[in-house]
């Protein structure tokens, strides 16, 4: 399929190709942003807001699901399945019967669950995970998302072929997964996530701004206009009319008419990429993403406010069983809240997008500059990242610390670099204290 102009942000898709790069970026970020000896996640069990839970695994956990406030499951690399019956106070491993990477998990209640992953893997349980059994998907390719609104009706989405060849897979079952059959999606785009609030109304999102919808359980799927060509990573519908979608540039799209119209919500305070979104009803929602970003809304997205995660590590997935009990999984860690995530954190540094020319010649010297509000404190850092878009993802080429000066209202910085900018798309991003700025994209020729 044609490559999209921007990378997907569905965690499983993005991280499988960039696992080592992501670890490098996280370690660099932590080294610069955290005090010596500090953990990536703040441990404060029982405290207000978000606190750490110990998953008991060193593998990355990709997805988390809680059908109620006590029973939960999380899945990850190498066939990892973790389970809890006490809201995450303790987690234990369950035997998945596979070693493939697992990307998404859905439970219709505390006993019936399904997990999807690489090689067309679909495994299911009817006893809360005491036993997991493989189901026949009819494909050997990757499945990224799964949804079950009840114990019999389910859908899984992903790729009929590897990333370079095509996608558009939608599989469905009406007997709890005893049999799966393909549904006609009408697209060859890779599909990243699926949401069904009931057995008839569903939505799927994927590459190149793709949003598909059905009102008959997938007998027919129709394209909806997202207004973007960015790869869409996650979708949430708490009912048949209210829905939200997030993308890797930090955009949030919303609908109040079942997707007949989608519009951007611009009230959030971050430009970080967002990987997942969850809503418990038409008003209470959360979105998570890069560098520890957690956003929350109590008015359907009219306003989004940042919550303190206590980490600068990437966050991959979020689940809420009700408006107060929630869980987030991320790079080497798991967070939980029993009060909806607590109040918004104070406004962070505001960093202007780095100024660069829109087009540059290979080998040219580029000078970039910007400002930070309020002024940085002594000992703080500004780091400038230069990244090249290659193979459907951003790859860091250079990270440097420019000098900066103090002003009454802000700190200003300037940095010049000469290197062989290979032809293609580039971006420059700035890190101030613990906050990435809006990026600036330019083209080398």
pLDDT digits (tens, 9 = 90+) for 203-229: 999 999 999 999 999 999 999 999 999
Question: What's the pLDDT score for residue 431?
Answer: 73
CATH number of the domain residue 137 falls in:
2.130.10.10
Inform me whether the pLDDT recorded for 318 exceeds 90: yes
pLDDT at site 34: 32
Domain of residue 171: give its range.
27-337
If asked whether residues 244 and 366 sit together in one domain, one would say: no
Check residue 306 and give its pLDDT.
Answer: 86
Per-residue pLDDT band at 389 (split at 50, 70, 90): confident
In a domain, 305, yes or no: yes
pLDDT for the residue 221: 97
Distance CA 137, CA 156 (A): 9
Does a structural domain hold residue 392? yes
Q: What number is the average pLDDT over the span 400-428?
A: 73
Last-in-domain residue among 337, 371, 388 = 337
In a domain, 9, yes or no: no
Express each pLDDT in 45-62 by its tens digit: 445 799 999 888 777 799
**Is the domain of 276 the same as that of 397?**
no
CATH label of the domain that carries residue 367: 2.60.40.10
160/184 Cα distance (integer angstroms): 12
- Which is more confident, 247 or 436? 247
Mean pLDDT of the chain: 81
pLDDT in tens, 161-203: 444 345 789 999 999 999 999 999 999 899 999 999 999 999 9
Q: Output the pLDDT for position 353.
A: 56
What pLDDT is attached to residue 13? 39
Q: What is the mean pLDDT of residues 430-444?
A: 67
Residue 281, token pair as written in the block: 């009803």
Query: Could you report the per-residue pLDDT of 321-335, keeping only the tens digit for each?
Result: 999 999 999 886 899
* Cα dihedral: 340, 341, 345, 347 (round 10): -70
pLDDT at 354: 59
Of residues 55 and 301, more confidence is placed in: 301
Better pLDDT: 414 or 289: 289
- Between 375 and 222, name the one with better pLDDT: 222
Output 56 or 304, whichever has higher pLDDT: 304
Q: What is the pLDDT of residue 16?
A: 36
The tokens describing 336, both together, are 């939980």
In percent, the amount of the chain with pLDDT more than 90 equals 52
Give the pLDDT band (50/70/90) at residue 377: low
Query: Are 170 and 87 contained in the same domain?
Result: yes
- Domain stops at, among 291, 311, 337: 337
The stretch 365-386 carries a mean pLDDT of 70
Same domain, yes or no: 355 and 333: no
Q: How much is the average pLDDT of 254-268?
A: 91
> What is residue 161's predicted lDDT score, i.e. its pLDDT?
45
Do 354 and 268 lie in one domain? The reply is: no
Residue 69: what pLDDT?
96
pLDDT at position 313: 82
> Per-residue pLDDT tens for 269-288?
666 789 999 999 999 999 99
311's tokens: 């980490």
Last residue in a domain, options 314, 337, 360 = 337
What pTM did the predictor assign?
Answer: 0.72
- Establish if 17 belongs to a structural domain: no
Flag whether pLDDT at 43 surpasses 90.
Answer: no
> Sorting pLDDT into bands at 50, 70 and 90, what band is 351?
low
Per-residue confidence (pLDDT) for residue 333, from 0 to 100: 83
Q: Quick one: 332 and 369 in the same domain?
A: no
Q: How many domains does the chain have?
A: 2
143 and 291 fall within a common domain: yes
Structure confidence at residue 117 (pLDDT): 95
Model confidence at 5: pLDDT above 60: no
């Amino acid at each position: 399929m044609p490559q999209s102009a921007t990378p997907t942000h569905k965690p499983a898709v993005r991280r499988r190709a960039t696992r080592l790069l992501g670890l490098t970026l996280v370690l660099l970020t932590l080294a610069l942003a955290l005090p010596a000896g500090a953990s990536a996640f703040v441990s404060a069990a029982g405290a207000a807001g978000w606190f750490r839970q110990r998953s008991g695994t060193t593998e990355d956990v990709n997805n988390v699901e809680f059908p109620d406030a006590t029973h939960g499951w999380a899945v990850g690399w190498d066939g990892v399945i973790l389970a809890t019956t006490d809201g995450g106070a303790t987690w234990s491993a369950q035997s998945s019967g596979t070693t493939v990477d697992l990307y998404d998990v859905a439970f219709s209640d505390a006993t019936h669950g399904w997990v999807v992953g690489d090689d067309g893997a679909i495994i299911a349980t009817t006893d809360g995970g005491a036993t997991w059994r493989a189901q026949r998907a009819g494909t050997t390719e990757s499945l990224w998302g799964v949804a079950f609104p009840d114990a019999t009706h389910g859908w899984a989405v992903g790729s009929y072929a590897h990333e370079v060849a095509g996608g558009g897979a939608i599989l469905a079952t009406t007997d709890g997964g005893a049999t799966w059959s393909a549904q006609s999606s009408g697209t060859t785009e890779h599909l990243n996530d699926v949401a069904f609030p009931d057995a008839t109304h569903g939505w799927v999102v994927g590459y190149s701004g793709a949003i598909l919808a059905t009102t008959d359980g997938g007998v027919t799927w129709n394209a909806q206009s997202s207004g973007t060509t960015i790869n869409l990573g996650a979708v949430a519908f708490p009912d048949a009319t209210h829905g939200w979608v997030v993308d890797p540039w930090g955009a949030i799209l919303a609908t109040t008419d079942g997707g007949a119209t989608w519009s951007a919500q611009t009230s959030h305070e971050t430009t970080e990429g967002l990987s997942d979104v969850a809503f418990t009803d038409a008003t209470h929602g959360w979105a998570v993403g890069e560098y520890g970003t957690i956003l929350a809304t109590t008015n359907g997205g009219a306003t989004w406010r940042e919550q303190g995660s206590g980490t600068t590590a990437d966050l991959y997935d979020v689940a809420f069983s009700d408006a107060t009990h929630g869980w987030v999984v991320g790079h080497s860690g798991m967070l939980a809240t029993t009060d909806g995530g607590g109040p918004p954190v104070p406004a962070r540094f505001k960093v202007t997008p780095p100024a660069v020319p829109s087009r540059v010649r290979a080998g040219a010297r580029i000078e970039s500059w910007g400002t930070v509000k309020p002024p940085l404190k002594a000992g703080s850092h500004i780091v400038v990242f230069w990244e090249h878009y290659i193979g459907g993802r951003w790859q860091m080429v250079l990270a440097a610390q420019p000098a900066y000066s103090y002003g009454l209202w802000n700190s200003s910085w300037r940095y010049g670099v000469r290197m062989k900018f290979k032809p293609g798309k580039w971006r420059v991003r700035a890190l101030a204290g613990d906050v990435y700025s809006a990026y600036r994209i330019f083209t080398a020729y």
